Structure formats: C-alpha cells, structure tokens
C-alpha cells in the first residue's frame, strides 16, 4: 500500500506543466500564508488570502470558518504540504497542492489562483479525488 501511495504521489507531482515558481512565486506564498493563518487560528488573515469573489460568497468570517472546518479540515493543521504542478486550464491558473494529515493520509487539492492588483488570491479550492487502489 505504501508503495502504491508513493507511486501515486510521484504521478501527481509530474503531471502538467510548470511550477508555481514559474508563475511568479507569489502563488506558493499565498497558499502557504493562508495555511499558516489557519494553523494560528487567524481566520481573518486566512480570509484575506481569498479572492474578492470568495469573500463575496461567504461574506463573514463566521461563514468562511464554518465552510473550512466542515469541508477542508485538513487545511487547518496539516502535518506536511508540498506544491505539485501548476497548469492553465480554460484561461484559469490552477495550483495543485498535496497535504499529509496528522494520521499520515494524503489529500490533494487544486487551487484556482487569481492575479489581482494586490497579488495572488485564492479563487477556489477543489479536492482532487484519489484513485482507489485495485485489489
């Protein structure tokens, strides 16, 4: 099983083009900054990394925090994170990030990154479904 997960991670790591560094480096700082804010329990700072569109959808820190706790709990305090590939798709820039939770389980998310006057913001976060190992 461990070999399967390592192979799977290597496949995800090599999929697609370029890295966030090739896109200006601010992408990694934005995603890492939000994760550090989550770790510190600073939802106001974490909300500041969200795009105006996301801020408009959730409107309040309470709504944003509830959404994160209910659907993205691993992001609150991951044991480890690794930036994988960045890619352009449909005119949008997506950054893939691998997280390992405190139990050693792997979670992969795609971040839609939006460049604005204040730098990179997070426009969406989508969980990437992991293929099930075959028997």
Q: For 69-128, what is each residue's pLDDT tens digit?
A: 999 999 999 999 999 999 999 999 999 999 999 999 999 999 999 999 989 999 999 999
pLDDT tens digits for range 16-26 = 444 444 454 69
Question: Residue 128 and residue 48: Cα distance in Å, rounded?
Answer: 24
Give the pLDDT score at 23: 52
Query: 12 or 125, which is more confident?
Result: 125
Whether residue 108 contacts residue 98, with contact meaning beta carbons closer than 8 Å, is answered with yes
- Which helix (DSSP H) or strand (DSSP E) does residue 34 occupy? helix 26-39
Q: φ and ψ at 24, to 5 degrees?
A: 115, -5
pLDDT, position 21: 46
């Amino acid at each position: 099983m461990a070999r399967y997960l390592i192979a799977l991670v290597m496949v995800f790591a090599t999929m697609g083009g370029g890295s966030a560094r090739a896109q200006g480096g601010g992408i990694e700082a934005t995603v890492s900054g939000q994760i550090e804010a989550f770790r510190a329990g600073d939802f106001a700072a974490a909300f500041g990394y969200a795009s105006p569109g996301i801020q408009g959808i959730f409107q309040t820190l309470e709504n944003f925090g509830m959404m994160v706790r209910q659907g993205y709990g691993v992001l609150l305090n991951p044991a480890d994170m690794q930036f994988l590939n960045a890619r352009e798709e449909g005119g949008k820039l997506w950054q893939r990030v691998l997280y390992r939770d405190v139990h050693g389980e792997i979670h992969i998310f795609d971040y839609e990154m939006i460049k604005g006057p204040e730098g990179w913001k997070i426009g969406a976060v989508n969980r990437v479904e992991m293929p099930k190992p075959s028997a």
